[in-house]
Amino acid sequence: MNSLFKALNDETRRQIVELLKEKDMNAGEIAERFNISKPSISHHLDILRQADLVTSEKKGQFVEYSLNTTILEDLLNWILTLKK
């Protein structure tokens, strides 16, 4: 759970999650939306992947990233238990 909160603590990573909510994208497509270097985008994607917020799948010469909504459901369920 700590890696999840760490991943969501950064504005760029939250924006990447928002982009992936709309559709699956490769790193180049994601990088086009930001004014930071491609290695920085890769670093952010790695942190999101370590937190299980995104999954990656090699498609041809590209790696496509997808949002993993299961981990978000787990987080929401946990938060709801705090309300009781």
Place of tokens 């759970």: 1
Q: How much is the pLDDT for 83? A: 84
**54 close to 46: Cβ distance less than 8 angstroms:** no
The tens digit of pLDDT for each residue in 13-29 reads 999 999 999 999 999 99
Mean pLDDT in the chain?
94
The tens digit of pLDDT for each residue in 29-66 reads 999 999 999 999 999 999 999 999 999 999 999 999 99
Q: How much is the pLDDT for 25? A: 97
Of 72 and 46, the one with more pLDDT: 46
From 12, 71, 72, 18, select the one nearest 44 (Cα to Cα).
12
Which band of pLDDT confidence, cut at 50, 70 and 90, is reported for residue 72?
A: confident
Q: Which CATH class is domain 2-83?
A: mainly alpha
Residue 84 has pLDDT above 80, yes or no: no
In one-letter notation, the amino acid at residue 58 is K
